[in-house]
Amino acid sequence: MISVLLLAAGEPWESPAMADLEAHPGVVVLKRCVDVDDLLAAVATGQSDVAVVSLDAPGLDPASVALLRRHAVRPVAVTSARSDDLDVREHAQRLGISAVVGSGELASLPGVVTTVDDVADTRDGDHRPSVDVPLADVAAGERDRGRVVVVWGPAGAPGRTTVATNLAWEVARREAAVVLADLDPYGGTVAQHLGILDEVSGLLSASRLAAAGQLDERFASVCRGVGPHLAVVTGLPRADRWREVRPAQVDQLLQSARGQGHVVVDTGFALEDEASSDFARPARNALTLAALEQADEVAAVGSADPVGLTRLARGLVDLRERTPGVPVRVVVNRMRATIGWSEKEIAGMVEGFSRVAGLHFLPEDRALLDRAAVSGRPVADLGDSALTQGLSALADAVFPALAGADDGRPRRPRLLPLRGGTRARPRRRGGPS
């Protein structure tokens, strides 16, 4: 049996199409969806095989179709015009839909729905390249793509944006192309950290271009240049505008960014999948979850205090469930002597609740961070310090291919062993190296 979702968007062909589909012995119509959001929520249940949609349904875009295929749901479009009309074909091609049925051809709809598509079903986990693409070329292409590093941290302002912006800046200092993307659905502040006048949101612009199928060729227009090597995709101008960005558009954004160089992503704190309990609308946390799905490595930031470490411990458990097999590197921020815990003691705590790829400590330097915030500059621009060296050591660990690059400043962090990874400790001025 072929399970079908139907989105007619009020078109007059809905009733006859419904009758033809229900009359076919090999087809069952699971649901009549009211809009694209309802369709995508129903697709997430994993119970459908085909989505019959109006070609002109409001909100239907390439990102939506990509999400359908990602859940192994084959799209079939119905149009009120002739299916062989040139404009209709071009519209369907831009959306990524190959099967189109005209309203005068509804009798053929059940046959089209039950026809095996030429796109492989992704539910079997088979993601091998097409036989006409040499494996060596595919491997070379993968090497040429940049790495996506997602900076995440639990609630409580542990310093996610500070780490993300300065990590991206450290990569740029090594003369490597890097894109810094602000995907915090609760109100990102990457633009403020770097002194960018955020007149137009790069994230919203990227979302609109992805919906129109034009993001790849116009990717440069959604970025703000900060120096010759750093491009910034600024975040939401208001936190309530998260509804304008779909997870599939986040996927396209990160894939396009990866083609430009390395990618550093600043995300939100929440990992709950709200769509699991409410299928009416896309989930707010879906932006963060979509970024984590694309991550080659995750930098988990937590504060060096009892509350911050407790939140980090709980968050790492959830993070492991969301990112199985992805290396997670812990960054303990705001490390200070007044806490009363040594780095060794905190390392033992972290080892107790999660096995991580590495553990890094960033010392508290409120004065330096205040100067950086007021001037809109990264901390590395304000002189050498223990915090600057800690961020440099973090960049060396996260992007090891760039560790030998000469940025004109000595970087000799001391590495302390940690089971399951490496703990980097910056060399402090005036102390033992």
What digits encode the pLDDT tens for the residues 313-338? 999 999 999 998 899 999 999 999 99
Residue 122 lies in a domain: no
Instruction: Determine the length of the chain.
Output: 433
What confidence tier does 280 reach under pLDDT thresholds 50, 70, 90? very low
- The answer to the question of residue 135 being in a domain is no
Where is average pLDDT lowest: 135-144, 179-188, 198-207? Answer: 135-144
- Percent of the residues in the chain that have a pLDDT greater than 90, as a whole number: 54
Considering the domain architecture, whether residues 309 and 182 belong to the same structural domain is answered as: yes
In whole angstroms, give the CA distance from residue 211 to residue 63.
6
CATH number for the domain spanning 251: value is: 3.40.50.300
pLDDT value of position 282: 61
Best CA proximity match to 181, nearest among 287, 105, 47, 87: 287
Domain count, the chain: 2
Question: Using 50, 70 and 90 to split pLDDT, how confident is the model at 275?
Answer: low
**Averaged pLDDT for residues 410-426:** 40
Report pTM.
Answer: 0.70
Query: Helix 160-173 vs helix 386-398: angle between axes, to the nearest 10 degrees?
Result: 70
Same-domain pairing of 73 and 148: no
Domain co-membership, 342 together with 203: yes
Average pLDDT over residues 64-81: 89
Cα separation values, 429 from 96, 167, 177, 382, Å: 57, 21, 31, 16
User: Is 183 a domain residue?
Assistant: yes
Residue that is last in its domain, among 83, 117, 151: 117
For residue 102, what are the domain limits?
A: 2-117
Give me the pLDDT at residue 150, please: 98
Q: CA-CA distance, 249 to 236, in Å (whole number)?
A: 14
